[in-house]
């Protein structure tokens, strides 16, 4: 069975894992890579890998809402970068079960983020409608005030004559 990953969810989960890694080592959410360990170059040089903190925090909240078995699978796969085979051994299940759990977690997370985006779009629309209604009410009040001022001016002119 092949794993059905959702690309944008996979990217969000990698960002979430990098942010978590960076916060563990005091990097304020910025993950680093030791180039000496990676490429065998001489000298100590670390490269900062930027993360999107807000997205990582939103992803953390969403991952916490997953069923426990999916949450653990996602954490082990992304945060500990265990291979799927190692994951199956750690979780005491088969490779197809690991693939199924990761796929299901991706689908659930996508649904959560899509629902959240739809809710935010509804809120933006309501705010826009409320703002338009408030603007129209203000314009009407200004028109009434101008009409009242004009009426007072006309009355004052009539009194003068």
Residue 68 domain-assigned (yes or no)? yes
Looking up residue 101, the CATH number of its domain turns out to be 1.10.10.10
| Contact indicator for 2, 33 with CB cutoff of 8 Å | no
The verdict on residue 1 lying in a domain is no
Which of 34, 14, 128 is CA-nearest to residue 80? Answer: 14
The pTM for the full model equals: 0.60
DSSP 67: -
**Residue 51: inside a domain:** yes
Domain span at residue 153 reads 7-35+44-160
Whether residue 57 lies inside any domain: the answer is yes
Residue 47 gets the label, from left (phi > 0), alpha (psi -120 to 50) or beta, of beta
**Phi and psi based region of residue 31 (left: phi greater than 0; alpha: psi -120 to 50; beta: remaining):** beta
Note whether residue 2 is domain-resident: no
Q: How many domains does the chain divide into?
A: 1
Query: Which tens digit of pLDDT belongs to each residue from 2-31?
Result: 567 899 999 999 989 988 887 665 555 454
- The reply to whether 59 falls in a domain is yes
pLDDT one-digit tens code per residue, 111-131? 998 888 787 778 888 888 888
> Contact, 81 vs 52, CB < 8 A?
no
* Phi, psi for residue 34 in degrees, rounded to 5: -80, 110
């Amino acid at each position: 069975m092949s794993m059905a990953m959702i690309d944008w969810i996979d990217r969000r989960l990698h960002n979430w894992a990098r942010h978590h890694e960076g916060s563990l080592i005091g990097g304020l959410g910025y993950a680093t890579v030791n180039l000496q360990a990676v490429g065998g170059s001489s000298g100590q040089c670390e490269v900062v890998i930027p993360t999107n903190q807000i997205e990582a925090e939103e992803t953390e909240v969403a991952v916490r809402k997953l069923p426990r078995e999916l949450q653990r699978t996602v954490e082990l796969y992304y945060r500990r970068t265990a291979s799927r085979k190692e994951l199956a051994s750690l979780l005491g299940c088969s490779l197809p079960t690991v693939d199924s759990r990761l796929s299901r977690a991706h689908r659930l997370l996508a649904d959560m983020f899509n629902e959240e985006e739809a809710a935010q779009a509804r809120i933006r629309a309501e705010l826009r409608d409320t703002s338009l209604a408030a603007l129209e009410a203000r314009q009407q009040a200004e028109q009434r005030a101008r009409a009242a001022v004009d009426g007072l001016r006309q009355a004052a002119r009539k009194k003068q004559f």
